Amino acid sequence: MALHVVGNVCVDDTFYVDRLPRPGETVNAVASARGVGGKGANQAVAAARSGAEVVFRAALGADADAGFVRAALAGELPLDGLAVLDTPTDRSTILVDRTGENIVVTAAASAMAFDPAGFPVRPGRGDYLLMQGNLRADVTGACLKRAKDRGAVTLLNPSPLGSTALPTADVVIVNAVEAEALAGCTDPAEAAHRLSRDGAASVVVTLGAEGALLLERGEPRLLPAPRVVAVDTSGAGDVFAGVLSGCLARGLPLFDAVAIGVRAAAVAVTRRGTLAACPSRPEIAGLINGTSRDLS
């Protein structure tokens, strides 16, 4: 059972600031870092570190940034699913303040031009497909439908939210802001019910320090996060979605997969960076073993 992660990858330039600048203001960073990001890549790496067999599909340009991305991902994932397009490799600028709050701007020409329809390796019966909101909506909808028609289980984390018309997926993963925008209500359980009625079999709403709400077979359950001191929440949602999907593809039940995702993401917020903050393979293996014991 392979987990196909189809989405974006980009170079992240992160600037740590005392406080986020106001419009028109310039502030000096206290530190900065360059790394690989993009919701697709972040989630693919988190899934691979969870022990799943991951097929990662995303687009790069033919430029120096593409070489940086390949070098950074080489030890994490097979890279034969990366397409090279006639566009610049995507880039993000991320500002993180002292409280861990962040803002992000992305140049996304490669993601916008990417259509994986012709790729020979496709999710089939018994496989899983995980997508995000970075590709064009028509491409995302078509990939999910093709995978479903071929018998795969589909997961969608529709972030960044481009439209409120959600394509159909077996598991929808949203944060509280997205849940409200999509469902039109602030109560996470009611929002999950509404999204489930819209065609999603199961809905997961992440609630930051509160953990996550899982709606499965019509029953909402809250999975609380451990108490931690958060220093940088950027990428927490990606660690959550990637670990959840990786655990599912390894055959764990959805409830256990959500529980492990909550704990892995709580570890990530105690560290700086996006990919740099993602727990390692041994750390996630420890969470999987510990969670199975707790739940048995």
Q: What is the 3-state secondary structure of the chain? A: CEEEEECCCEEEEEEECCCCCCCCCCCCCCEEEEEEECHHHHHHHHHHHCCCEEEEEEEECCCHHHHHHHHHHCCCCCCCCEEECCCCCCEEEEEECCCCCEEEEEECHHHHHCCHHHCCCCCCCCCEEEEECCCCHHHHHHHHHHHHHCCCEEEEECCCCCCCCCCCCCEEEEEHHHHHHHHCCCCHHHHHHHHHHCCCCEEEEECHHHCEEEEECCEEEEECCCCCCCCCCCCHHHHHHHHHHHHHHCCCCHHHHHHHHHHHHHHHCCCCCCHHHCCCHHHHHHHHHHHHHHHC
Q: Which is nearer to ligand ATP, 125 or 227 (CB)?
A: 227
232 is in an annotated binding site: yes
Is residue 80 annotated as part of the catalytic site, yes or no?
no
Q: Can residue 235 be called a binding residue for ligand ATP (CB under 6 A)?
A: yes
Q: Which of 262, 277, 278, 287 binds ligand ATP (CB under 6 A)?
A: 262
Q: Which is nearer to ligand ATP, 27 or 228 (CB)?
A: 228
Size of the site for ligand ATP (CB under 6 A): 21
Q: Which of 20, 208, 220, 222 binds ligand ATP (CB under 6 A)?
A: 208
102 is in an annotated binding site: no
Q: Can residue 222 be called a binding residue for ligand ATP (CB under 6 A)?
A: no
Q: Which of 240, 252, 260, 288 binds ligand ATP (CB under 6 A)?
A: 240
Q: Can residue 58 be called a binding residue for ligand ATP (CB under 6 A)?
A: no
Q: Can residue 266 be called a binding residue for ligand ATP (CB under 6 A)?
A: yes
Stretch that binds ligand ATP, among 115-123, 128-136, 235-243, 288-296 (CB under 6 A): 235-243
Dihedral angle, C-alpha 279, 130, 241, 62, nearest 10 °: 50
Stretch that binds ligand ATP, among 10-18, 79-87, 160-168, 206-214 (CB under 6 A): 206-214
| Catalytic pick among 63, 238, 256, 294 | 238
Q: Can residue 269 be called a binding residue for ligand ATP (CB under 6 A)?
A: yes
Q: Annotated binding residues, as ranges?
A: 10-12, 38-42, 175, 206-211, 232, 234, 237-238, 268, 271, 273
Q: Which residues bind ligand ATP (CB under 6 A)?
A: 175, 206-209, 211-212, 225, 228, 230, 233-238, 240, 262, 265-266, 269
Q: Annotated binding residues for ATP, as ranges?
A: 175, 206-211, 237-238
